[in-house]
Amino acid sequence: MADEQAGLKNKATAAGAAGTGTILASLFSLIGDGTVKSILLIFAPAITILLAQLWEVLGAIFRDKIADWKISKSKKKLQEIIDLHEDDPETVAEAKQALSALTSLEIATTSKKAHAELHVEA
């Protein structure tokens, strides 16, 4: 299932890149005739692919940062609940359980990122 989704995402990215390449080539064709225009038109597909990959990498970094921020924010809120409701053991127990689940999620995502970075470096 995940492989199918990754394949569909790659196809969508390729389709978007093809459209962007056409637009990029059209923009390059507006440049006055000369060597620079010819070179840019020849490299338009490669430039498009590089831009698409850059967009994908930046998007992944942005999604990771948002996920980390959401986990951190939720952990702070749960800690505040624990501190505010010290006299209510049921609320404290529920908050600690949720905090434990968030900590486990944080560890799992950090481990997944570290594992992915090891594969990229190898």
Residue 65: per-residue pLDDT = 92
Q: Exposed e or buried b for every residue in 66-96, given b needs 16+ CB within 10 A? A: eeeeebeebbeebeebbeeeeeeeeebeebe
Query: For residue 25, is pLDDT > 90?
Result: no
Q: Where are the alpha helices (DSSP H) in 1-122?
A: 2-29, 35-84, 89-121
Residue 51 belongs to domain spanning:
2-121
Query: For residue 11, is pLDDT > 60?
Result: no
Backbone angles phi, psi at 34, to 5 degrees: 160, -175
d(CA 18, CA 13): 8
Cα angle value 17/112/52 (rounded, 5°): 10
Q: How confident is the model at residue 36 (pLDDT cuts 50, 70, 90)?
A: confident
Q: List pLDDT tens digits, range 69-122.
A: 999 999 999 999 999 999 999 999 999 999 999 999 888 888 887 777 777 665
Total domains, the chain: 1
Residue 87: per-residue pLDDT = 92
d(CA 105, CA 114): 14
